[in-house]
C-alpha cells in the first residue's frame, strides 16, 4: 500500500476556502466538541432492527435549512459557495484520509485529496437538495462509524491509527457481497455511497478526467473524425468474438 | 388594414411562436410577440465548454435545475416558481415549462424526424385515435422548407418510418461511434436496422450560424447557433425585418372577445410590475405550449364562449398525449477498457433505431397498434456526478475498475406513440390560482393497455439486442412499472387538436379555431395524434405552413 498514507495525528486536510469561510469554519471547529464519540455508540444502544447487528452511530442530524442556488443561477460564473459548508475540521481530515485510501496517489497521478475531493464532499453533504440530503446521513454516519470502530478496536480515532490498522477496518467495510458479515453489511452499504461520490469527484477533476481518458470538450474545426483506427480495429475484434462480423453497419441507400 | 399597430399578436416564443413570427414578418405583417419568461441571450449566457467540476455539485440535477446545472432552462423545469399545476387523485403527470425567450427550444434534444403518411392516418388504418386533416404530400414541401431553414443533419434512408427529404435539404450526418456501430451490428442480426438520427444541428454553416464544432452538450444551448434554437435563428431573423416587437415577462391572462364572440385582443400581466395590460390585434396566435394554450382558452370564458374560448366541441384540454418512455441498459463486457478517442460528436445520437414494425403490425403480429423508436445511451461522456459500476474495495484496483467500466455501458431509451384516451386530459383547477391570480391546469392521466404492451415489447427487444452484444441483462421489469410518467418525455400534445369537423376538433388544418376565425393555435396542441418521433420539427413545419396561409388571409383582407 501507499507509503504516502497520511496517518499521523498532525495531518489536517486544508480545504480551499476564502478567509471569510475560514473564520466561520474556525467557529464551527470550536463547537465541534459535539462530534459523536465512543460513548454514544455502545453496540446495544444502536441496533436498529433485529436483523442488524453491530454498532451504528444513528446521528441525529439537523436538517440542512439553507436554500439552493435557485432556478436562474449564473451559468457562466457558477456560484462558488451557494450554501454554508457543514463538515468540521476533524470530519474533513477523516474524509481526506478515506478519500486517499479509496483513490491513492498513483505515480504522477494525484490522490483524491490532492484534487480537493473533500471540498466536493463537504459541498455535497451540506447542500439542501434531495439527492444530497439522502446521501448526507449515509456519509456522516460512515464517518462516525469508522471513528467509533477505530476506537472500539484500537482505542484511537481512525486518522491516528497505523496504516495496517486502517486497512484492517477498510477490508471489513469496503466489500458488499453476500459473504459480508452481518455486522458490516450496513456500514458497507453506507460506505459505498461515500466511495461512489469520491470516485465521481476525483474523475471530475482535471487530473481525474485525464486519468479516465475523456478526450472530448475540445472544438473540432472540420467534420467530426469518428472513431480512431485503433478503436475501429478493437470493434472488429468484438464483432468477431460475438459472431457479428457479417452484420457490420452500412449506411442505407 | 393598418389601423392597428400590430396585425397579429403571438403568445409564446418557442418553436411554434417564433416560426409564426418569422413567416408573418417576412410577409410584411406587423407582429407583437409576448413571452411569459425573461429575455435570454444565448451568445452571452450559454456555458460552452464549462466543466461539471466548475458547477455546484458536479453539475448534477436537482429541483432548481432538473436536467443539471448547465441546462439552458431558465425559471422552469418540472416546477415553475409561483406557478403550480395540480393532478387529479391517482394521476401522476409531469409538466415541463420554461420561462425564457425561445422557450424550450433553447434546451431541446434537436431530434427532428418527419411524421409520415402512416403517422398522419393512423385511424384510417386501425380505427384508433384521430386522423390528421391533411395528407403527407400536403405537408412534405413544408417539411423541406423547415428543414432547410432550421438546418437538419441526417440522410434519406428509404426506410418506411422515415420519409425522404427533397434532395439537398439535409446536411450530412456525423460519423457513427463505436457503441452505436456495435448496437447496429447486433440489431441487424435481429433484423432491425439503425439509421442516422436526424438532428437540428448544423454540420455545415447556414446563414450567420456556425457549424457544429462537436463539443459542449446541446442541452446547454448553443452560442454559435449550430444547434437550432429560436433565439439564434428565427427570432433575430424576424426582428431584422423591422416588423417584430417582443415583450418579455408578459404572462397572458385571457383572450378578450367582443359581444359577437370575435377575438379583439388579450390581457396580460407584466410580471416585472404585476400590472395588467390590454392589447388589441386583428389576429391572435396561441403558441404557448399545448397545455398553456389550452389553459388560456379554458380561462377565457365569456357569455358567447361559456365553456371557454374555442371550446364548442368540448375538446379543449382533451386528447392530451405524451410519448411513452422506458429505458433499459447494461454493461457490455467486451466494451470494457476499449481504446479512448473523442466520442462527443454532436453530443447526442448519431445512429438510432427507427420503428421497424409497420409490416408486422399490418400482419397483426404485434399486440399494440403504434410504433416506437430507440435512442441509444452510450459513449465516453464527460465525467459527472455518477461513476458507472458496481464497486468494491479501494485503492488502485478500484480506480482501475472505474476506468475499465468507462464508456462500456449501453442503454436504450424507448420513445413511443400513445393513443389518446378518455382518462388523459387537462382542465382548470378552480381551487388553485398562480401568483398572478390565473387558475392553474389540473391533469388527469392513465396509460392504456396499448402503451403497456408497447413498452413490454420494447423492453424485450432492447434486452435481445443487449444480449446479442454479450451483456447479462437479467429479469425485465414489469412494463407497468417501467413506463415513465405522463409528461415526463416532454412531448405533450393534442389539447387543441385539429380535424375535419368542428364537432370533434378545436381547429381546422390551418390551426384556425372553428369558433373564432381570427384565433389560431400554432403549438403542439393542434396535433391530432402523437407519433413517436419527437414533436418539435412538426410544430415548426405546421407553424410555417399555417402562418403562411394566415398571411395570405390577411393580405387578401379575409381576416
Confidence (pTM): 0.93
**Looking at residue A24, what is its pLDDT?**
39
**A123 interaction partners in chain B (CB closer than 8 Å):** 56-57
Cα separation, B375 vs B115, in Å, equals 17
Minimal Cβ distance to A216: which of B155, B193, B382: B382
CA distances from A97 to A105, A156, A157, B14, B123 (A): 12, 15, 12, 50, 65
Cα separation, B315 vs B252, in Å, equals 21
For cell 466561520, the residue is A24
Which uninterrupted H or E stretch holds B440? strand B439-444
DSSP letter string, B421-439? -TT-EEEEEEEEE-TTSPE
* Interface contact B225, partner A, CB < 8 A: no
**B56 interaction partners in chain A (CB closer than 8 Å):** 69, 78-79, 82, 123, 127
* Interface contact A244, partner B, CB < 8 A: yes
Cα separation, B488 vs B480, in Å, equals 15
Q: How far is B118 from chain A (nearest CA, A)?
A: 21
Q: How far is A127 from chain B (nearest CA, A)?
A: 8
Query: Is residue A11 scored above 90 in pLDDT?
Result: no
Each of the 559 residues of chain B gets a pLDDT tens digit; together they read 334 578 999 999 999 999 999 999 999 999 999 999 999 999 999 999 999 999 999 999 999 999 999 999 999 999 999 999 999 999 999 999 999 999 999 999 999 999 999 999 999 999 999 999 999 999 999 999 999 999 999 999 999 999 999 999 999 999 999 999 999 999 999 999 999 999 999 999 999 999 999 999 999 999 999 999 999 999 999 999 999 999 999 999 999 999 999 999 999 999 999 999 999 999 999 999 999 999 999 999 999 999 999 999 999 999 999 999 999 999 999 999 999 999 999 999 999 999 999 999 999 999 999 999 999 999 999 999 999 999 999 999 999 999 999 999 999 999 999 999 999 999 999 999 999 999 999 999 999 999 999 999 999 999 999 999 999 999 999 999 999 999 999 999 999 999 999 999 999 999 999 999 999 999 999 999 999 999 999 999 999 999 999 999 999 999 9
Per-residue exposure over B309-321, b if at least 16 CB sit within 10 Å of its own CB, e if not: bbbbbebbbbbbb
**Looking at residue A81, what is its pLDDT?**
81
Other CB atoms within 10 A of residue B440 CB: 17
Enumerate domains of chain B plus CATH numbers.
1-110+230-322+431-445+494-559 (3.50.50.60)
* Interface contact B177, partner A, CB < 8 A: yes
* Interface contact B393, partner A, CB < 8 A: yes
Cα separation, B58 vs B271, in Å, equals 33
Sheet holding B283-286, edge to edge: B244-247, B31-34, B8-11, B283-286, B519-521
| Rg of chain A in Å (alpha carbons) | 22
A149-190 pLDDT per residue, tens: 999 999 999 999 999 999 999 999 999 989 999 999 999 999
Does the beta-carbon distance from A219 to B213 stay under 8 Å?
yes
Cα separation, B371 vs A200, in Å, equals 38
Minimal Cβ distance to B383: which of A212, A231, A232: A212
For cell 483524491, the residue is A112
For residue B266, what is its C-alpha cell? 388579450
**A173 interaction partners in chain B (CB closer than 8 Å):** none
Residue A67 · residue B62 · CB < 8 Å: no
Nearest Cα residue to B98 out of B230, B226, B9, B202 = B230
- DSSP SS3 for B34: strand
Ramachandran sector of residue B214 (left: φ over 0; alpha: ψ -120 to 50; beta: rest): left
H, E, C per residue of B69-112: CCCCCCCCECCCCCCCCEECCCCCECCCECCECCHHHHCCCCEC
**Looking at residue B4, what is its pLDDT?**
53
Query: Is residue A29 scored above 70 in pLDDT?
Result: no
Cβ partners under 8 Å of residue B182, min gap 6:
A235, A238, A239, A244, B332, B335, B410, B469
* Interface contact B468, partner A, CB < 8 A: yes
ipTM: 0.95
Residue A82 — pLDDT band, cuts 50, 70, 90? confident
**B54 interaction partners in chain A (CB closer than 8 Å):** 78
Residue A10 — pLDDT band, cuts 50, 70, 90? low
Q: How far is A112 from chain B (nearest CA, A)?
A: 11
- DSSP SS3 for B285: strand
Nearest Cα residue to B522 out of B507, B535, B511, B537 = B511
Residue A31 — pLDDT band, cuts 50, 70, 90? very low
* Interface contact B400, partner A, CB < 8 A: no
Name the residue ranges covered by the structural domains of chain A. Answer: 19-212
Closest-CA residue of chain A to B470? A242
Amino acid at each position: 500500500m501507499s507509503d504516502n498514507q497520511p496517518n499521523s495525528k498532525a495531518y489536517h486536510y486544508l480545504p480551499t476556502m476564502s478567509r471569510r469561510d475560514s473564520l466561520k469554519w474556525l467557529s464551527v471547529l470550536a463547537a465541534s466538541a459535539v462530534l459523536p464519540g465512543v460513548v454514544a455508540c455502545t453496540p446495544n444502544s444502536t441496533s436498529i432492527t433485529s436483523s442488524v447487528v453491530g454498532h451504528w452511530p444513528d446521528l441525529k442530524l439537523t436538517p440542512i435549512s439553507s436554500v439552493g442556488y435557485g432556478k436562474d443561477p449564473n451559468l457562466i460564473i457558477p456560484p462558488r459557495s451557494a450554501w454554508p459548508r457543514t463538515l468540521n475540521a476533524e470530519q474533513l481530515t477523516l474524509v481526506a484520509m478515506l478519500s486517499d485510501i479509496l483513490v491513492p496517489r498513483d505515480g504522477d497521478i494525484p490522490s483524491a485529496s490532492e484534487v480537493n475531493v473533500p471540498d466536493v464532499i463537504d459541498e455535497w453533504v451540506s447542500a439542501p437538495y434531495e439527492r444530497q440530503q439522502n446521501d448526507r446521513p449515509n456519509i456522516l454516519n460512515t464517518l462516525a462509524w469508522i471513528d467509533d470502530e477505530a476506537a472500539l478496536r484500537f482505542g484511537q480515532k481512525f486518522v491516528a491509527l497505523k496504516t495496517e490498522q486502517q486497512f484492517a477496518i477498510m477490508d471489513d467495510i469496503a466489500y458488499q457481497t453476500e459473504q459480508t458479515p452481518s455486522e458490516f453489511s450496513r456500514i458497507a452499504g453506507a460506505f459505498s455511497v461515500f466511495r461512489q461520490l469520491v470516485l465521481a469527484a476525483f474523475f471530475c477533476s482535471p487530473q481525474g478526467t485525464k486519468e479516465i481518458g475523456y478526450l472530448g470538450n475540445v472544438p473540432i474545426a472540420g467534420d467530426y473524425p469518428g472513431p480512431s483506427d485503433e478503436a475501429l480495429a478493437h470493434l472488429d475484434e468484438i464483432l468477431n468474438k460475438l459472431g457479428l462480423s457479417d452484420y457490420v453497419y452500412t449506411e442505407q441507400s | 388594414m393598418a389601423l392597428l399597430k400590430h396585425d397579429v399578436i403571438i403568445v409564446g416564443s418557442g418553436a411554434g411562436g417564433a416560426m409564426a413570427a418569422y413567416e408573418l414578418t417576412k410577409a410584411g405583417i406587423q407582429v407583437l410577440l409576448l413571452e411569459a419568461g425573461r429575455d435570454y441571450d444565448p451568445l452571452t449566457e450559454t456555458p460552452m465548454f464549462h466543466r461539471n467540476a466548475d458547477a455546484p455539485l458536479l453539475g448534477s440535477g436537482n429541483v432548481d435545475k432538473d436536467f443539471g446545472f448547465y441546462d439552458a432552462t431558465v425559471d422552469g423545469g418540472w416546477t415553475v416558481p409561483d406557478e403550480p399545476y395540480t393532478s387529479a387523485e391517482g394521476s401522476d403527470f409531469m409538466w415541463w415549462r420554461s420561462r425564457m425567450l425561445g422557450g424550450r427550444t433553447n434546451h431541446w434534444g434537436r431530434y427532428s424526424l418527419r411524421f409520415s403518411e402512416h403517422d398522419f392516418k393512423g385511424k384510417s388504418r386501425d380505427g384508433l385515435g384521430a386522423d390528421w386533416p391533411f395528407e403527407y404530400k400536403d405537408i412534405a414541401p413544408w417539411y423541406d422548407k423547415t428543414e432547410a431553414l432550421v438546418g437538419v443533419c441526417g440522410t434519406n434512408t428509404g426506410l418506411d418510418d422515415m420519409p425522404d427529404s427533397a434532395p439537398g435539404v439535409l446536411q450530412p450526418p456525423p460519423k457513427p461511434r463505436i457503441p452505436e456501430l456495435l448496437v447496429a451490428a447486433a440489431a441487424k442480426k435481429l433484423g432491425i436496422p439503425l439509421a442516422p438520427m436526424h438532428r437540428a444541428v448544423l454540420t455545415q454553416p447556414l446563414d450567420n450560424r456556425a457549424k457544429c464544432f462537436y463539443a459542449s452538450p446541446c442541452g446547454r444551448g448553443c452560442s454559435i447557433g449550430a444547434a437550432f434554437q429560436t433565439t439564434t435563428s428565427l427570432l433575430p431573423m424576424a426582428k431584422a425585418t423591422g416588423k417584430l416587437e417582443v415583450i418579455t415577462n408578459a404572462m397572458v391572462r385571457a383572450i378578450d372577445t367582443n359581444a359577437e364572440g370575435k377575438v379583439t385582443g388579450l390581457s396580460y400581466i407584466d410580471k416585472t410590475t404585476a400590472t395588467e395590460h390590454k392589447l388589441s390585434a386583428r389576429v391572435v396566435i396561441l403558441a404557448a405550449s399545448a397545455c398553456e394554450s389550452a389553459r388560456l382558452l379554458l380561462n377565457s370564458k365569456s357569455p358567447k364562449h361559456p365553456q371557454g374560448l374555442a371550446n364548442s366541441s368540448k375538446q379543449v384540454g382533451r386528447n392530451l398525449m405524451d410519448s411513452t418512455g422506458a429505458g433499459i441498459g447494461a454493461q457490455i463486457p467486451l466494451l470494457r477498457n476499449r481504446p479512448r478517442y473523442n466520442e462527443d460528436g454532436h453530443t447526442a445520437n448519431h445512429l438510432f433505431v427507427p420503428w421497424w414494425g409497420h409490416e408486422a403490425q399490418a400482419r397483426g403480429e404485434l399486440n399494440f397498434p403504434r410504433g416506437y423508436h430507440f435512442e441509444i445511451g452510450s459513449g465516453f461522456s464527460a465525467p459527472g456526478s455518477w461513476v458507472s459500476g458496481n464497486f468494491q474495495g479501494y485503492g488502485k484496483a478500484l480506480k482501475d475498475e472505474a476506468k475499465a467500466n468507462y464508456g462500456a455501458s449501453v442503454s436504450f431509451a424507448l420513445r413511443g406513440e400513445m393513443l389518446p384516451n378518455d382518462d388523459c386530459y387537462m382542465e382548470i383547477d378552480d381551487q388553485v390560482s398562480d401568483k398572478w391570480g390565473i387558475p392553474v391546469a389540473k391533469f388527469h392521466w392513465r396509460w392504456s393497455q396499448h402503451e403497456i404492451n408497447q413498452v413490454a415489447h420494447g423492453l424485450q427487444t432492447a434486452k435481445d439486442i443487449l444480449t446479442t452484444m454479450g451483456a447479462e441483462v437479467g429479469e425485465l421489469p414489469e412494463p407497468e412499472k417501467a413506463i415513465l410518467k405522463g409528461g415526463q418525455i416532454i412531448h405533450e400534445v393534442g389539447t387543441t387538436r385539429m380535424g375535419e369537423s368542428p364537432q370533434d376538433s378545436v381547429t381546422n388544418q390551418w390551426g384556425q379555431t372553428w369558433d373564432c376565425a381570427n384565433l389560431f393555435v400554432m403549438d403542439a396542441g393542434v396535433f391530432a395524434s402523437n407519433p413517436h418521433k419527437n414533436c418539435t420539427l412538426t410544430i415548426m413545419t405546421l407553424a410555417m405552413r399555417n402562418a403562411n396561409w394566415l398571411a395570405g388571409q390577411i393580405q387578401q383582407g379575409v381576416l
